[in-house]
Amino acid sequence: MRVLMHKMAMVFVALLMPQSVAEAAPSNFAELVNMLTGWINAATMVLFSAAIAFFFWKVAHHLLGYDDSQNAAKKKAFRDTLIWGIIILFVMVSIWGIIAILQATLSLENRL
């Protein structure tokens, strides 16, 4: 079982590996920075997607009645999850927007 999981992880990493990493290492600093920026952008999208999926999963889980909503503690925990989920999504989108505005203002997109 452990060997199978290890093989599946290796295939998963190989399929998601950017083409520049699979071909060769970067030849200068600008290529290295561009490669790292691509990885960070991909990781950001994965984390943002996971946050949205988790938020809507929790909402659907509660609305479809998979948990006992009669318990006051569970209602409070659900309300807290929703509030923190909205706050976290707002902060993530705000930071993403501020970085985009700074990049556009300072013309940092094509500088490297």
Structurally, the chain folds into a number of domains equal to 1
- Residue 14 belongs to some domain of the structure: no
Taking CA atoms, 107 is separated from 79, 101, 104, in Å, by 42, 10, 5
Quote the pTM value.
0.58
- Residue 48 belongs to some domain of the structure: yes
- Judge whether residue 74 has pLDDT over 70: yes
Mean pLDDT estimate for the chain: 78
- Residue 94 belongs to some domain of the structure: yes
Write out pLDDT tens, residues 17-34.
665 455 667 778 877 777
Which residue segment(s) compose the domain that 40 sits in?
Answer: 28-106
- Residue 47 belongs to some domain of the structure: yes
Please give the radius of gyration of the chain, using alpha carbons only, rounded to the nearest integer.
20
- Residue 19 belongs to some domain of the structure: no
Q: Between these two residues, 89 and 67, which has the higher pLDDT value?
A: 89
Q: Between these two residues, 107 and 38, which has the higher pLDDT value?
A: 38
- Residue 62 belongs to some domain of the structure: yes
- Residue 100 belongs to some domain of the structure: yes
Q: What integer pLDDT is reported at residue 35 of this predicted model?
A: 78
Average pLDDT for 32-55: 85
